[in-house]
Amino acid sequence: MARSVLNLLRNRKSIRIFRPSTISEEVLRLIIEAGVRAPTYLQSYTIIQVKDEEKKEELAKLCNEKIVKNASAILLICADLHRTRILLDMLGHEHVLRSDKHPIESILAVFDAGLVVENMIIAAEALGLGSVILDCPLIECKRFSELFELPKGVTPLILLCIGERGEVPPLRPRLPIDQIFHIDKYGEVSEEKLKEYLEELERRMEIENYVRKYAGMDLKYLDYLRLKTELTNESKKVNDEIQKFLKENLIKT
């Protein structure tokens, strides 16, 4: 048993090409039940399954169209301080969510959601299904908030798209463990090792044909990474909008 869970964890890859199929409600229920067993703090998250065809059409415009259209289940994961606030109100005390300073609850709500997502990903793997996370809900937080009628205090974070695998991608590169794992004190990064990692990343993504396959662009992977993370007037504008939304709904520091 332990070995099979380790195998799932060690061999999981994001799946971006799904075969048309349906997931039964029972199977989806198993995935959700595995999700809620994650070690969460105040359970400050909400999962919304997107079933409505019109909403899916909207998602196809806001997110990766092919992934959203072919996935058998689409789950929107939100950080949810709205429900937690109501729950704490019931305890009848003056609680932190009534203040405009609650960095702990804000950050841990995102952490809660992340743990739940990972549990669901591994549950899907155990059931023979593939999945991918999409970040469009956070990028388009205002649109998602309107589309799913999210109350104040609820922040859309990611979509988890689940379905039958229509591809067998290779394991994707990771930073070397010795650049991530340290004992007793922080270990400063080795630029030499980071450089080697970037070279390996470029090489392996080229072999996978990653950028052409998934982004339809004729770019080297590192140029694609530059493009995605470049500070531009457009990215500044998007970040300003997201920051405003987060200040109103999540991050109270």
Residues engaged in binding ligand FMN (CB under 6 A):
13-14, 16, 132-135, 158, 172
User: Whole-number minimum distance, CB 92 to ligand FMN, in Å?
Assistant: 36
Nearer to ligand FMN, 59 or 134 (CB): 134
CA distance 55 to 149: 12
Q: How many CB atoms lie within 10 A of CB 16?
A: 22
CA distance 75 to 68: 10
Assign 161 to helix, strand or coil: strand
Residue closest to 145 by CA, chosen among 158, 154, 136 = 154
User: Whole-number minimum distance, CB 101 to ligand FMN, in Å?
Assistant: 26
Phi, then psi, of 47 in degrees rounded to 5: -115, 130
Nearer to ligand FMN, 130 or 153 (CB): 130
Instruction: Characterize 39-59 residue by residue with b for buried, 16 or more Cβ atoms within 10 angstroms of its Cβ, and e for exposed.
Output: ebebbbbbbbebeeeeeeebb
User: Whole-number minimum distance, CB 183 to ligand FMN, in Å?
Assistant: 26
CA distance 219 to 222: 8
Nearer to ligand FMN, 83 or 165 (CB): 165
Nearer to ligand FMN, 154 or 160 (CB): 160
Nearer to ligand FMN, 127 or 139 (CB): 139
User: Whole-number minimum distance, CB 90 to ligand FMN, in Å?
Assistant: 32
Nearer to ligand FMN, 16 or 82 (CB): 16
Q: Which residue is nearest to ligand FMN (CB)?
A: 14
CA atoms within 13 A on the CB side of 155: 27
What is the DSSP code string of 89-148? HTTTS--GGGSS--HHHHHHHHHHHHHHHHHHHHHHHHTT-EEEEE-HHHHTHHHHHHHT
Q: Which two tokens stand for residue 5?
A: 């869970």
CA atoms within 13 A on the CB side of 38: 24
Q: Find all residues with CB under 8 Å of 218, minimum gap 6, and list them.
A: 211, 212
User: Whole-number minimum distance, CB 44 to ligand FMN, in Å?
Assistant: 17
Nearer to ligand FMN, 29 or 61 (CB): 61
User: Whole-number minimum distance, CB 135 to ligand FMN, in Å?
Assistant: 4
Q: Which two tokens stand for residue 122?
A: 């591994």
User: Whole-number minimum distance, CB 137 to ligand FMN, in Å?
Assistant: 9
